[in-house]
Amino acid sequence: MRLGKDFDAAITRELKAAGVEHYKVERGGKHPRLVFEHDGRQFSYTLPGSPSDHRALLNMVHDLRGLLGLNLPRPPQPLPPDPPLDLDMITLARLRVEANPPTLPTDRDMRLYEMLDGAFEAVAALARRAQAEDIVAWTHTNLERLERLVALGLAESDAEGRYRRLS
């Protein structure tokens, strides 16, 4: 039972990257075993017997890197740019709130109020903190609610459409 040159090359490459010079592949049973020593410890890894799965090589490399401590955490992915806030939407939300001013905050108003802090924050940033799947939809849904908080004197907004909590 032969592993194949791709597997042999990957094993050699990964072990060499970790400073392992000597290893052996033991045959017997259903699957061959890779045996090596690294940092004074003996390791044994079961190799695929018949690598028919197209991911078998990649899975083996990932497992070996994990055993050898070579798997590094992925760098954080940059966030996509915030969608532009339509200032006309803010104006419409303010007009709707002015036409029907609130007298008391609702439970939903208070949940949004709890998300605000003392620093001005963009609506998109609030949507991310709320773990919204769709930032634009969250903005459409909660912009009027933010304006209700402003009308109640619980929050304030600036000219750029950012909001903050008032003490």
What percentage of the chain carries pLDDT values higher than 90? 43
Q: Where are the domains of the chain?
A: 5-68, 87-165
User: What average pLDDT does the structure give for the chain?
Assistant: 88
Q: Is the pLDDT at 47 greater than 90, yes or no?
A: no
Tell me the H-state helices in 43-134: 56-68, 87-99, 107-115, 123-129
CATH number, domain 87-165, options 1.10.575, 1.10.10, 2.60.120, 1.10.287: 1.10.10
Q: Is the pLDDT at 139 greater than 70, yes or no?
A: yes
User: How sure is the predictor about 1, in pLDDT bands with cuts at 50, 70 and 90?
Assistant: very low
69: phi > 0 → left, psi -120 to 50 → alpha, else beta; which? Answer: left
Lowest model confidence (mean pLDDT) among 29-43, 92-106, 140-154: 29-43
- Global pTM exceeds 0.75: no
The per-residue b/e assignment along 138-158, b for 16 or more CB within 10 angstroms, e otherwise, is bbeebbebbbbbbbbebbebe
Q: Is the dihedral of CA 141, 155, 117, 112 positive or negative?
A: negative
* pLDDT value, residue 51: 63
- In 3D space, the residue among 42, 71, 48, 75 whose CA is nearest the CA of residue 60 turns out to be 48
Which contiguous run of DSSP H or E holds residue 138?
helix 135-151
Q: Is the pLDDT at 41 greater than 60, yes or no?
A: yes
